[in-house]
Amino acid sequence: MIKKLPKVSVERRPRTAKIAVFPPSKSPDSMHALFSRWIDFKHRDIRPSTYRNYVHALKLSLPHLGEKPLKQLTVLDVEALVSAVYQERGPKTAGRVLRVVAWRCGRR
C-alpha cells in the first residue's frame, strides 16, 4: 500500500536572509569602534543567525551610544538607550539590546 502512494517532491524556498554588515566607525575611541572590533572578533565563533542578531542589536544602540567616548560611558547612558529602544521597538528588542551591550561591556 505504501508503494502505491504518489511521490511528492518538496520544493525548498530560496534563502533570502541578507548578510549582516556593521558600519565602520569614525572615531577609534568611541563605543562604535569598540562594538565594531568586538563583532569582528565574535564573527568567527558564532552562528550566522547569532551574528545577525548581534549586529541588529548593536545597530540599534549606535544612535544613542555610538559617538560616546569609552571613558565617558555611564550606567545612565545605557538606561537611556534601553528606554529609547523600549519606546521605539518594544520590550523584547530592548531586552536583546541590553543583553548584547551589557555582555560587550563585561556585565553578564
What is the tens place of the pLDDT at every residue in 14-60?
Answer: 777 677 888 888 888 899 999 999 999 888 888 888 999 999 999 99
Most confident option among 2-6, 48-52, 81-85: 81-85
Which residue is listed with cell 548581534?
54
With 90 as the cut, is the pLDDT of residue 80 above it? yes
Q: Name the DSSP class of 16.
A: -
- Separation of CA 38 from chain center: 11
- Distance (Å, whole) CA 37 – CA 95: 22
